[in-house]
Chain A
Amino acid sequence: MAGERDFQQRVQNIAGRVEELEAIADPAVRAAARGLVQLLMELHGFGLERMLEIIFQSKEVGPRVIDELGADPQVSGLLILHGLHPADLQTRIERKLDEVRSRLFKMGAEVNLVSVHEGDVRVRVSLDRHTCGSTTQAVRSAVEDAIYEAAPDLTSLVVEGLDAPAASGFVAMEALARSSAPAAHREGMRLHGEGMD
């Protein structure tokens, strides 16, 4: 999809520049550059969040508009980047797999989502008996591309069922740094539920 590819290309370009920044020798300049990127990301992230809040308040049409934003190839990646996408990781993958199912069927393959746990994704592919090596590769590419497109925020992907000599696996560097803070509200709700009996 054209829009999606634009987004992916831009992300790769930016990441390339970030890599160059990280290679700057002077620590002060390096810190300043990194800080600037963070501030710009925050500026737009908070703005996007606020925009979605406002749209959401339109009770009649808001949620529908947000769904449309989430489905748009140009916008979807941006929302995922800032943790604002209306559909969670699993939902996005399931929807994407539904989209590519018929194409895979023509290649003699069937794909199913086995598990999603905190960004670790596992899918199983089953192939017709008489599938040749190059088709197997094409199936693998199709499945992986689709999942990476729908869920660039995953932390690992394992594709089972394609008898490859090398293990089929991918782990994002980001998998090393995960943190989250519970909202006060959730703390209260959770504790009240469990503290009582």
Chain B
Amino acid sequence: MNSEGSQNTVQAFGALRQLTRRQPRRMERCELCSVALYSEHPHLIEPSQRRLLCACDACALLFSGREDAKFKLVPRRVRKLSSFHMSDADWDGLLIPINLAYFVRGGADGRMSAMYPSPAGATESLLSLQTWNSIVQANPVLDELQPDVEALLVNRVGHARGAFPAEYYIAPIDACYCLVGLIRMHWRGLSGGEEVWREIGNFFTGLRSKAEVVAEEANA
């Protein structure tokens, strides 16, 4: 085929592409080897940058697992803590301005971070170590939190409205980033708007369905 014919094909192709779905699918790619990822795939976190990467199965195995690895594999397990103890006073003591937050330990320095989603993205809140320690004392399951890759995810939105009980999860860190992203994308105006609250609701419905329910063992 001569070049003009080839060029015609490209023009024709372009015309057809205009008629495919309005939002072209942006293919996710393994950030280590660039192979295409079509559906659910593992995530790695680079703790020094707090950066999340999409990976294929092969790279996920290859790049995590060593003690001194630059990347850690984000686990998939979600736990709903059905007998979590946190009073309103405890929560207020944490000084988080909204009713959603997650708490993750940094592997490098062992420092606990409190993060909450906002229209501008994830924001760090100064965490009172004293308050945190007393929460851990009341809920020993938190000692199991894997640094960098797992977080205590707190949803007190329903509780604040008196509508639903507060929810507490040990969630993988990529789920927390996803929640941050949803809020960043859909938040409108001062109170968020209907859309974002619907998205938040859907997010937790999804999380609940994946969660294994864990009850604290009664103290001896």
Q: Which residues of A contact B181 (CB under 8 A)?
A: 183-189, 191
- With contacts A11-B13, A15-B16 taken as known, whether A185 is within 8 angstroms of B177 at the C-beta atoms is yes
Is B9 a contact partner of A12 (Cβ separation < 8 A)?
yes
User: B104 to chain A: closest CB distance in Å?
Assistant: 11
Interface size class of A (residues with CB under 8 A): 35 or more
Contact of A191 among B3, B27, B34, B184 (CB under 8 A): B184
Q: How far is the CA of A174 from the CA of B13 in the complex (A)?
A: 9
User: B145 to chain A: closest CB distance in Å?
Assistant: 18
Is A191 a contact partner of B122 (Cβ separation < 8 A)?
yes
B12 at the binding interface (Cβ < 8 Å): yes
Binding site secondary structure of chain A: helix
Q: Which residues of B contact A134 (CB under 8 A)?
A: none
Q: How far is the CA of A60 from the CA of B70 in the complex (A)?
A: 26
A residues 180-197 touching B (CB-CB < 8 Å): 180-189, 191-196
Is A18 a contact partner of B35 (Cβ separation < 8 A)?
no
Binding site secondary structure of chain B: mixed
Q: How far is the CA of A174 from the CA of B18 in the complex (A)?
A: 7
User: A146 to chain B: closest CB distance in Å?
Assistant: 9
Is B10 a contact partner of A170 (Cβ separation < 8 A)?
yes
Is B50 a contact partner of A196 (Cβ separation < 8 A)?
yes
Closest to B117 in A: A188
Number of A-B contacts (CB under 8 A): 181
B52 at the binding interface (Cβ < 8 Å): yes
Q: How far is the CA of A25 from the CA of B49 in the complex (A)?
A: 58
A167 at the binding interface (Cβ < 8 Å): no
Is A149 a contact partner of B27 (Cβ separation < 8 A)?
no
Q: 17 A-B residue contacts at CB 8 Å?
A: A14-B12, A41-B20, A45-B21, A53-B38, A145-B6, A148-B3, A154-B10, A174-B18, A180-B24, A183-B28, A185-B174, A187-B184, A188-B179, A188-B181, A191-B184, A192-B52, A193-B51
List residues of B whose CB falls within 8 A of some A CB.
1-3, 5-21, 23-29, 34-40, 49-52, 56-57, 120-124, 174, 177-182, 184-185, 199
List residues of A whose CB falls within 8 A of some B CB.
5, 8, 11-12, 14-16, 18-19, 34, 37-38, 41-42, 45-46, 49, 52-53, 55-57, 59, 63, 66, 77, 80-88, 91, 140-141, 144-145, 148-149, 152-154, 170, 172-174, 177, 179-189, 191-196
